[in-house]
Amino acid sequence: VTALDDDLRAMFQDRTASPPTNPFRGEHVRRRIWRGRLARTGAALAVVTVIAGTAALVTVPDHTRTIPAGPTTKAYFDRSGTVATAPGQTMVGQTLLADSGQLVVEQATDDRPYLLVTRCPKPGRIDVVGSDLRTGGHPDPALGSYSLECSAPVDGGEYEGSVTVPAPRSRTLFGPVGQLVLTVHGTGLWSFAVLAPTWPDWLPAVPETAAPVFDGRQHPAGGTFPARLGRDGALTVQGQCVPGVVLSFRVGGTAAGTVRCTTATPNYGVGYAPIGQPGATVQVTVTRTGRDTGQWLVTQADTPG
Amino acid sequence: MADRAEFDAFVAARSSGLLRTAYLLTRDWGNAEDLVQTALAKSWFAWRRIDGPPEAYVHKVMVTTFASWWQRRWRGEAPTAELPDSGQPDRTVDVDERDELWRAVGRLSRQQRAVIVLRYYEDLSEVEIAAALGVSAGTVKSQASRALAALRKHGELTISGGDR
C-alpha cells in the first residue's frame, strides 16, 4: 500500500460524500425501460418530412417485430405459473404470492383495456387495489379496486380467473406509476399477471416525452393540427400506426407526404425543403385511410426555431 | 419470481452507490445520474438471465456504457491542462492536494480511470475489474500500473513514500 493508494481512497470518499438525491430515480428508470421496450416492440415508426410541393420518400427496411406465438390452450398460465401471452397481447406485470404482495406495473399512460389474470391451486379470491408510488404506495380504492374469483378449472388440477379493467379506468389504476396491492383469500402459491393489448392491434403506450401532436385515438379519421417549423424552415413529423393504416399529410392544401404502416415495410420519409420562416407555425392536415382504427398518432421531433 | 419487485428493490437499495461510482467515472453528477439510469434500464432487459449477484452485472453495464458514451456522446471532450472542477468543495484540510489529485485522475484515459475507480473506490480485485471492463487481468494490471505512474509523476503530487 502506498501513500498514493491512501490518497486516492480518501479523495474518492471525499468526492462522493454528499451525492445529490433523486427520489424519482426509480420512476425515471421505469420510463427508460418503457422507451426501450417501445423500441424493441418495433412499432411502425415512420417518419415523413412534410414538404410543400414535392416529398422525397424512401423506404427503409422493416423494424417491426412480431410478438411470440401465444398459448395453445385457454389457460392463461402454464403449469410453472408463467403467464403466456397470445398474439396481440403483452404482459406488463407478473408476480407470485402466497398471501399478499405488490406488483409494479409499467407505465400505462394511454387508455387501453387491461386484463387481470390469476392462477391458484385451490379456488379462492384475490383482491386488487391500486396505489400510487409517488404518494407512498398505499392501497387506494379510489384509484381502482377489483376482485378476481379464481374458480375456473384448468389443466393441472388448478384454477384460474380473470377480470377486465376497461378503458379509461385503466389509466387511473395503472398510471403513471402504478403499483397494485394484492391480497389473496385462499391457500397455496398464486400467480397473478396483467395483460394488455399491443402490437399489431394496439400501439404501445406512448411515453410522456413523446406526446403526440395529433392523436388518432381521439380522432380516428384525422384532422388538422398546428406544427412548428425547424430552424431551416422545414417541417418534420412522425407518423406511428398499426399495420394497414395510411396517413396522408397536407400543408396549405398541398399534398405533402404519406405514411403507409405495414408489418413488412413501414415507410420512412426524408427530405428537406423550407416551407416558411424558421420557428413559424403551420397547419397540417392528416387523413387516415386504410385500416379503420384509431391506433395511430403523429409526433413531432424537437425543432427549435 | 417477482422479477420486477426484485429489480425495484435493487434500484432503491443500490442506485445511490452506483451513482457515486458513476460520478467518479464521469466527474459530473448530472452525467452520473444519466449513466446510472441508463445502466439500470439496460440491465432490466437481462435481469432474468443474470447469473449471480446483479450488482456485478450492473457495474459491467455501467462501465461499458461509460466507455461507449465516450465514443458516441462525449467525443469532443479532451483532457486539458486546466480541467474545470464541477465537483463539490473538499472538506479536508489539504484541499489543494486533493484537488490536484482529482484533476490528475481526470487526465487519465477512460479505461485507466475506470480501473483506478474500481480498484480504489469499489475495492475490486484485478479479476473482478477485468470482468467488469471485459478485458484481461493482465490489461487491468498494466493499465493500473500506467495510471499510478502518471499520477505519481504529475507534479509529484506531494505523495510521500513509495511501495511498502
Which residues from A are below 8 Å from B5, CB to CB? 95, 101-104
User: What's the maximum distance between 2 C-alpha atoms anywhere in chain B?
Assistant: 55
CA atoms of A295 and A112, how far apart (whole Å): 11
Q: Decide if A92 contacts A192 (C-beta within 8 A).
A: no
Task: Give tens-digit pLDDT for A7-34.
Answer: 899 999 999 988 887 777 887 787 677 6
- Angle A32-A35-A38 from CA coordinates, rounded to 5°: 150
Name the one residue in this structure whose C-alpha cell is 399478499: A100
Cell numbers at A192, concatenated? 397473478
- Of residues B11, B161, B164, nearest to A25 (C-beta): B11
CA distance A101 to A90: 22
β-strands A152-154, A158-165: how paired?
Answer: antiparallel
Range among A77-86, A290-299, B77-86 rated most confident: A290-299
Q: Name the residue with higher pLDDT: A155 or A108.
A: A155
- Which of the residues A27, A31, A33, A189 would you substitute to probe the B interface, choosing the one with the greatest number of B C-beta atoms within 10 Å? A33
H or E element at residue A36:
helix A25-41
pLDDT tens-digit map of A251-261: 887 777 788 88
Confidence of residue A227 (pLDDT cuts 50, 70, 90): confident
- For chain B, the first-to-last Cα distance in angstroms comes to 49
Residue of B11, B102, B105 lying closest to A29 (CB–CB): B11
* B156 Rama sector, left if φ>0, alpha if ψ -120 to 50, beta otherwise: left
Under 8 Å CB-to-CB from B113, ≥6 apart: which residues?
A: B24, B25, B105, B106, B147
All three cell numbers of A86: 397470445
Say yes or no for a CB contact (<8 Å) between B4 and A104. yes
A1, A26, A97 ranked by CB distance to B12: nearest: A26
- In this prediction, residue A79 has a pLDDT band, given cuts at 50, 70 and 90, of low
pLDDT at A53 over 90: no
Question: Chain A to chain B, count of Cβ pairs less than 8 Å apart?
Answer: 115
Contact B155, B97 (CB under 8 A): no
Mean pLDDT, to the nearest integer, of A84-104?
75
Q: Which of A42-46, A136-140, B121-125 has the lowest mean pLDDT?
A: A42-46
Contact with chain B for residue A18, Cβ under 8 A: yes
Q: How far is B39 from chain A (nearest CA, A)?
A: 9
Select the residue of A11, A13, A81 nearest B101 (Cβ to Cβ). Answer: A11
Q: What is the mean pLDDT of chain A?
A: 73
Does the pLDDT at position A271 exceed 50?
A: no
Instruction: Read off the amino acid at residue A228.
Output: R
Mutate to test the interface with B, among A12, A21, A35 (most CBs of B within 10 A): A12
What is the nearest CA distance from B87 to chain A, expressed in angstroms?
A: 7
Intra-chain end-to-end CA distance of chain A, in Å: 57
Q: Which residue of B has its CA nearest to A80?
A: B1
| SS3 of residue A163 by DSSP | strand
Q: Measure B142 CA to nearest chain A CA, in Å.
A: 16
* Predicted confidence band of residue A262 (pLDDT cuts 50, 70, 90): confident
pTM of the predicted model as reported, rounded to 2 decimal places: 0.43
Q: How far is A95 from chain B (nearest CA, A)?
A: 5
Interface of B with A in 37-96 (CB under 8 A): 37-38, 40-42, 44-45, 87-88, 90-92
> What gap in Å lies between CA A225 and CA A50, rounded to an integer?
13
Three cell numbers, residue B92:
479536508
Q: Which helix (H) or strand (E) holds A169?
A: helix A169-174
Task: Kindly report the backbone phi and psi dihedral angles of residue A53, in degrees, each rounded to the nearest multiple of 5, phi listed first.
Answer: 115, -105
**C-alpha torsion sign, points B102, B104, B110, B112:** negative
State how far the Cα of A245 lies from the Cα of A35, in Å rounded to an integer.
23
B105 Cβ under 8 Å from any chain A Cβ = yes
How would you list the strands of the sheet with A152-154, edge to edge?
Answer: A89-97, A190-197, A114-120, A158-165, A152-154
pLDDT of B25 reads: 92
Out of B44, B98, B161, the one facing A33 most closely (by C-beta) is: B44
Which of B:109-148 have CB within 8 Å of A? Answer: 116-117, 120-121, 148
Q: What is the pLDDT of residues A190-223, one digit of tens each?
A: 888 888 877 677 776 554 445 688 989 889 999 9
Q: How many CB atoms lie within 10 A of CB A136?
A: 8
Residue A292 has pLDDT above 80, yes or no: yes
Residue A57, SS3 per DSSP? strand
Amino acid A36: pLDDT: 64
pLDDT at A42 over 50: no
Q: Nearest-CA distance from A211 to chain B in Å? A: 21
More confident residue, A59 or B7: B7
Question: pLDDT per residue over A98-127, tens digit each?
Answer: 777 777 765 555 677 888 888 888 899 999
Residue B105's nearest CA partner among B123, B118, B91, B124 is: B118
**Torsions phi, psi of A10, nearest 5?**
-65, -40
Share of chain A above pLDDT 70, in %: 71
Per-residue pLDDT in tens (0 to 9) along chain B, 164 residues: 357 788 888 998 899 999 999 999 988 887 788 889 889 988 888 888 887 788 888 988 898 888 766 444 433 332 232 333 333 433 344 556 677 888 889 888 888 899 999 999 999 999 888 888 878 889 899 999 999 998 887 655 444 333 33
Q: Which residue of A has its CA nearest to B103?
A: A11
CB atoms within 10 A of CB B60: 17
A136 part of contact set with chain B, CB < 8 Å: no
A264 vs A232, residue with greater confidence:
A232
CB-based contact, A102 to chain B, within 8 Å: yes
Helix (H, G, I), strand (E, B) or coil at B15: helix
DSSP-H helix ranges across chain B: 3-26, 29-44, 54-72, 95-106, 110-120, 126-133, 137-153
Cell digits for A223? 384532422
Predicted complex ipTM: 0.79
Nearest to A7 among B15, B101, B121 (CB): B101
